[in-house]
Amino acid sequence: MKNLIIASTSTLHGSGYLEYVLDELVVFFKDVKIIVFIPYARPGGISHDEYTEKVKEAFKKINKNVKGIHEFENPVEAINQAEAIFTGGGNTFVLLNQLYATKLIEPLQKVIKKGIPYLGTSAGSNICGLTINTTNDMPIIYPSSFKALGLVPFNINPHYLDPIPDNKHMGETRETRIKEFHAFNTQPVIGLREGSWLRVQGNSIILKGELPARVFEYNQVPFEVETGTELNHLK
């Protein structure tokens, strides 16, 4: 039975890394001693070691140990033996490229579908959808496929931003970008605002956090869903 937290972000404005969701993670990881961390997204180009140290400091607050997947001799075996997995944010293209390069796509799908707890934030959430085509990131590297883990039956747009009235910025809004996506693709897209997450348990997908999410369906008017809403019907 799938057991995931798919979060828009790791850090809210004015709070520490993962701080806003730590109470939830205490329960989520209650039976876990060591979390395998996937640092491949490398925000700002930081090293895997630097990123892993940052995550270790955060999880010390809830008495959990963290080991970066790059510290294992065999990353596939590390996933197969993991008690729990966390994939952090950064650049989604870099992350997915490395997952394909290390042949981790199928092992991740397999263990997560069996019920290993999985936490994703930002890029680590993007890869939970059907494809990464609705990421906000620059395509600085070209993965062998844009197809992602497919753990939920839709795409995700983390860090979703609403249009700002009277904003002088003349570029496209997130909503415009997602409409462009739907000119060529038909799967739904969930716009996850900061501080929101999806709680996946088996076939149940429930929006959590303080803010509503925006749902985009092919050839339909976008609509809002409130926290606590079940989203597993979206296909």
Residues catalogued as catalytic: 122, 137, 159
Strands 189-191 and 213-216: antiparallel
CB 178 within 8 A of CB 188: no
What percent of the chain is helix, strand and coil (3-state, nearest 5)?
A: 30, 20, 50
Q: Tell me which residue has tokens 């329960």.
A: 27
Given a contact cutoff of 8 angstroms between Cβ atoms, the answer to whether 4 and 198 are in contact is yes
Please choose, from the candidates 151, 94, 145, the residue with its C-alpha nearest in 3D space to the C-alpha of residue 119. 151
Pair 68, 49: CB distance under 8 Å: yes
Say if residue 169 is exposed, middle or buried (CB neighbours under 10 Å; 0-12, 13-18, 19+). Answer: exposed
| DSSP-assigned letter for residue 108 | H
At residue 138, what are phi and psi to the nearest 5 degrees? -75, 140
d(CA 6, CA 158): 9
